[in-house]
Amino acid sequence: MKQASENVSAEPASANFRGYQQAHPSAIDEEIARVGPGTPCGEYMRRFWHPIYLTSELGDLPRAIKILGEELVVFRYGGDKVGLVHKYCPHRRASLEYGRCEDNGIRCCYHGWLFAADGEILETPGEAEDAEPARMVRERTRLGAYPVHEYNGIVFAYMGPIDKMPPFPVYDIFLIEDMVNRPYKAPYNCNWVQVLDAIMDPVHTSFLHSQNSHPQFSEGMAELGELKFYERHENQFLGSSTRRVGDNAWVRVNELVLPNFTQAGSAFAADGTEPRYFGRSCFTRWVVPVDDEHSIVYAWANFGDRGDPHQYNTQEGCELIEQGERFERSPEEKQRRPADSEAVEGMGPISTHKGENLMPTDRGISLYRRRVRRQIRDLATEGKEPPQPLSAGSHAVRTYGQDTVLHLPPQNGIDDRAYLMKIGEQVMDMEFRHEASSDATRDSSIIAELKEIEVNGVSLEPAKARGERRQA
């Protein structure tokens, strides 16, 4: 018979095991996670234009969609026009998903009420035209409807108060000649904030997309580089990473324009080995809340000399640009080669920010979340409208998502990390200076000055001191 002391009692456990103490889930961040009608963040999000559908997927049938927690129907009418309305018919709640697209709007399948794109009830065919109840309902009742704007293959909508509707923002990236913009979409099964966070997270590019399984984007992203974060105009956030590749310095910039517009450098066109001057983002992309626990990305993938190589202009190429891997994969493939969807959906439907431990490399995330929270509160408590993407006069909105690769070898006797940081700062400062240049001259001026930096080199002295000396 065994002694009680033999092999049956567990070793005394160290107090380091803290599973029990930490088993209680943290509360979610309600203020920025909830996007439905009447929530503070939902109100904030309803002050901006958002992409809601791909033109190519909208045929002669209405489509049921959900955006910002609202059940909606998007449809074509009159041939080429697009409408966006609440899903349920105001007569007896039939779904307009089963409605009929007509010349003047959408007709409910149940009793044939016809609605214009602005929600006006045009016909109630089951009732005598001049009967009082029918006349009254046509006068007093409307189907909920939203303004839409179809642009370059994507349908955008404004879902806020009509008297607060901002102009549709035109971004600089739309104006680049010879750039091919291919619309795509990518659904994520989680809250919008955790999808958005990744754009301000340069470390994940080096680890998730490079070191963890295999290089999912171009080689060279495995190294982290010298990081710097910028906040501009209260709604634009930039994260620059300047890497050393042989004798080259590679300045890559990710960006976010609040609340949900994102750009980055290229996915495959730049690896730091070849010169590149203000190459632009692989995508122009919005992270749109479907509801609190689902999001959808609508975007253009950008191809050409200043975008990604044309060979990626395919459905698969867009998925690789979006997240480094195809979306439809086996569970094992996802475990062996996780990409953004695994990283962010794996956090659960709404990640608990109180359970995080943010690091200095998460500074971009802290900055933007703080600003979003402030703008949500300003709107909720003081009625202060959030800033719109800045169009300087008639100019397109200036963005900075880019790659620049300059021939700037390490300098003898100078710490190369400090040198790279300075190169990154000088490139960014110069690009900021050109913010007010005209649409026609801005890019060529930036590119010319980048080439000058390459010739003249970068001084480690503070930029202001150099400027003062030049003027003296």
The residue among 94 and 463 lying less far from ligand FES, judged by its C-beta, is 94
Do 424 and 289 form a contact (C-beta atoms < 8 A)?
A: no
Min separation Cβ 78 and ligand FES, Å = 20
Binding residue for ligand FES, selected from 63, 81, 91, 451, defined by CB under 6 A: 91
Q: Give the range of 36-44, 106-114, 197-205, 245-253 binding ligand FES by CB under 6 A.
A: 106-114
Q: Give the range of 63-71, 109-117, 229-237, 422-430 binding ligand FES by CB under 6 A.
A: 109-117
Min separation Cβ 51 and ligand FES, Å = 28
Question: What tokens does 351 get?
Answer: 């990640």
340 binds, among Fe ion, ligand FES, none (CB under 5 to 8 A by kind): Fe ion
Query: φ and ψ at 451, to 5 degrees?
Result: -65, -35
Min separation Cβ 60 and ligand FES, Å = 20
Q: Where are the alpha helices (DSSP H) in 411-462?
A: 416-433, 442-456
Please tell me whether residue 258 binds Fe ion under the rule CB under 5 A: no
Please tell me whether residue 170 binds ligand FES under the rule CB under 6 A: no
Min separation Cβ 68 and ligand FES, Å = 24
Query: φ and ψ at 345, to 5 degrees?
Result: -70, -30
Question: What tokens does 238 get?
Answer: 């930039």
Min separation Cβ 98 and ligand FES, Å = 10
| Torsion, CA 135, CA 137, CA 139, CA 140, rounded to 10 | 150
Binding residue for ligand FES, selected from 32, 89, 421, 427, defined by CB under 6 A: 89
Binding residue for Fe ion, selected from 89, 121, 198, 269, defined by CB under 5 A: 198
Cis-peptide, bond into residue 389, ω within 30° of zero: no
Collapsing DSSP to helix, strand or coil, 50 comes out as strand
AA letter at 334: K
| Torsion, CA 11, CA 16, CA 20, CA 24, rounded to 10 | -170
Q: Give the range of 4-12, 37-45, 87-95, 271-279 binding ligand FES by CB under 6 A.
A: 87-95
Do 124 and 93 form a contact (C-beta atoms < 8 A)?
A: no
CA dist., res. 132 & res. 442, Å (int): 62
Q: Give the range of 74-82, 103-111, 197-205, 339-347 binding ligand FES by CB under 6 A.
A: 103-111
Q: Give the range of 73-81, 196-204, 243-251, 402-410 binding Fe ion by CB under 5 A.
A: 196-204
Binding residue for ligand FES, selected from 44, 49, 113, 277, defined by CB under 6 A: 113
Q: Give the range of 14-22, 116-124, 335-343, 387-395 binding Fe ion by CB under 5 A.
A: 335-343
The residue among 98 and 171 lying less far from ligand FES, judged by its C-beta, is 98
Do 146 and 158 form a contact (C-beta atoms < 8 A)?
A: yes
Phi-psi region of 279 (alpha: psi -120 to 50; beta: other; left: phi over 0): beta
Binding residue for ligand FES, selected from 27, 30, 61, 92, defined by CB under 6 A: 92
CA 259 to chain centre: 8
Name residues whose C-beta falls within 8 Å of residue 422's C-beta, 6 or more positions apart in sequence: 458, 459, 460
CA dist., res. 112 & res. 131, Å (int): 16
Q: Find residue 141's DSSP bridge partners.
A: none
Please tell me whether residue 420 binds ligand FES under the rule CB under 6 A: no
Query: In the window 337-396, what residues touch Fe ion (CB under 5 A)?
Result: 340
Binding residue for ligand FES, selected from 54, 94, 116, 227, defined by CB under 6 A: 94
Please tell me whether residue 41 binds Fe ion under the rule CB under 5 A: no
Please tell me whether residue 110 binds ligand FES under the rule CB under 6 A: yes
Do 103 and 118 form a contact (C-beta atoms < 8 A)?
A: no
Name residues whose C-beta falls within 8 Å of residue 27's C-beta, 6 or more positions apart in sequence: 352, 354
Please tell me whether residue 125 binds ligand FES under the rule CB under 6 A: no
Q: Can you give the binding site for Fe ion, defined by CB under 5 A?
A: 198, 340
Q: Can you give the binding site for ligand FES, defined by CB under 6 A?
A: 89, 91-92, 94, 108, 110-113
